[in-house]
Amino acid sequence: MLVRRITGKQFKTTFPTRTIFTELEQKELNQPRIKCRNRPYLAGAKSDKFPEYISMSVNKYFSGIKLKDPKNTPHMKDIALEFRKHIDENLKTHSAFLLKGLPTNGVDEIQDFISGMEYKSFYYDAGNAARSSVGEYLYTASDEPKDVSIEPHNEMAYLETFPSKIMFYCASAADYGGDSPVVFNRDIKKSLDTSDVYEKMNKKKIRYIRNLSHEKNSPYLTWQETFKTKSEEKAEKVMQRENMDWEWQHNGDLSLWNTVSATTQHPVTKEEIWFNQVTAAHSSYYKDMSINVNNQHLPANQFPLHTCYGDGEEITDEEVDEIRSATWSNAMSLKLQPGDVLLLDNLLALHSRMSYEGGERKILVNLSY
């Protein structure tokens, strides 16, 4: 747990003298051509600043490996320990690590893999994602409607406490779409570094506003699921922990808000990192959902999520577009296939999900520090 304080054809990473892994070649990624501009139900996609398609160049912060001998593999915990060693060797220069084609058979073996990594798992509460528990510290990546594209974001960047790492495991893939582009915070910061919006957000901070339903009123983003309790008192204790303000509504719904920095300091490199969900938690994301076509009349702060400056000033449409466009313009095409494991430094790499059709897409997630 962290507490907030203020290309070539191969992926060049360091390996121990003896290792069970070998580096992937770019062609083994099978990167899809992902439509971005004017994509239905992708927030902000009508902007002419959006890229037509997401880049298929392999980012310098990305590492891809596979087992040398997939037919003669060690125990799952041993593979995990070797993967952890590879990550530790390269964490200062890379922030996304793909292990392709892990030979697993279900949730139990993935839990063995998580245990073998020897990170401390992070309990998911107070998060704003629609997500279900499938095992100990193991969740579905997202339960959002399949026609929605989830924009790149750092996990739980809207809270005082957040995981330092996030790991995805692909159990099954969609027939079409469901891609998982990654973006790197350093690239976004470089794109925004000299802009007025970067300086302004750094100075004013970001206020995150949430409107959570009581489960009797709506099954979507309920406060009971968010705080993993049916007790208002227990929910309030978590909100206190995260320095939130809140108001209970007469019908049992809950409104809450908190203000945090737009940037943070990386605990290892000590660099200032662009780290927030200013666009992913903005009301415009929800306005672009198919399930909200009849809710366009609502004020921005009455959608499930909304963001503004820390002093209450609204973020302009132009500022939102500038940040979204910079984010998608730096995205790297990636689609996880069954057996793939993707581990991200949560402070330096953003994850996303594109809309999809057909098949039972099942991506599981574990948070850790």
What value does the mean pLDDT take over residues 151-158? 98
Domains and CATH numbers, the chain: 21-45+54-183+334-368 (3.60.130.10), 191-322 (3.60.130.10)
pLDDT in tens, 227-249: 999 999 999 999 999 999 999 99
Give 353's strand partners. Answer: 150
CA 275 to each of CA 75, 106, 253, 348: distance values in angstroms, whole numbers, following the listed order: 36, 33, 29, 8
Quick one: pLDDT at residue 298? 86
The predicted pLDDT at position 195 comes to 93
Strand 272-274 relative to strand 305-309, pairing: unpaired
- Considering the chain, what percentage of its residues have pLDDT values greater than 90? 85
On whether the CB atoms of residues 289 and 41 are closer than 8 A, the answer is yes
* pLDDT at residue 12, as a whole number: 63
Token couple for 237: 């204790």
Locate tokens 């750094």: which residue? 202
In this prediction, residue 10 carries a pLDDT of: 54
Q: What is the pLDDT of residues 2-31, one digit of tens each?
A: 655 433 455 567 655 468 999 999 999 999
**Structure confidence at residue 1 (pLDDT):** 60
Three-state DSSP class for residue 244 = coil
| H/E run at residue 238 | helix 232-241
* Residue of 203 and 293 predicted with greater confidence: 203
Distance in angstroms (rounded) separating the CA atoms of residues 186 and 331: 12
- Give 109-143 pLDDT, tens digit per residue: 999 999 999 999 999 999 999 899 999 999 999 99
279 or 69, which is more confident: 279
The dihedrals phi and psi of 367, each to the nearest 5 degrees, come to -105, 145
CA–CA separation, 255 vs 253, rounded Å? 7
Per-residue pLDDT tens digits for 336-346: 999 999 999 99
Query: Tens of pLDDT along 179-226?
Result: 999 999 999 999 999 899 999 999 999 999 999 999 999 998 999 999
293 pLDDT above the threshold of 90: no
> 353 is written with which tokens?
């999900």
CA separation for the pair 180, 364 (Å, rounded)? 13
CA distances, 306 to each of 209, 314, 320 (Å) = 5, 10, 12
pLDDT of residue 317: 97
Q: What is the sign of the dihedral through the CA atoms of 64, 68, 69 and 73?
A: negative
The values of phi and psi at residue 62, to 5°, are -100, 135
DSSP bridge partners of 211: 255
How remote is the C-alpha of 177 from its chain's centroid? 17
Instruction: Dump pLDDT digits (tens) for 320-334.
Output: 999 999 999 999 999
Q: In this predicted structure, what is the pLDDT of residue 295?
A: 73
| Average pLDDT score over residue span 72-99 | 94
Alpha-carbon gap, residue 36 to 29, rounded angstroms: 19
Q: How far apart are CA 353 and CA 342, in angstroms?
A: 13
Task: Indicate if the pLDDT at residue 277 is higher than 80.
Answer: yes
What integer pLDDT is reported at residue 57 of this predicted model?
Answer: 97
Task: Using alpha carbons, select from 354, 263, 279 the residue that is nearest to residue 324.
Answer: 279
List Cβ neighbours of 77 (8 Å cut-off, separation of 6 or more).
112, 113, 115, 116
Q: What is the Cα Rg of the chain in Å?
A: 20
* pLDDT on residue 70: 83
Residue tagged 């850790």 (tokens): 368
Q: Beta-carbon neighbour count of residue 307 at 10 Å?
A: 26
Mean pLDDT of the chain: 93
Cβ partners under 8 Å of residue 5, min gap 6:
264, 265
Residue with tokens 């910061």: 189
Q: CB count, 10 Å around CB of 137? A: 18
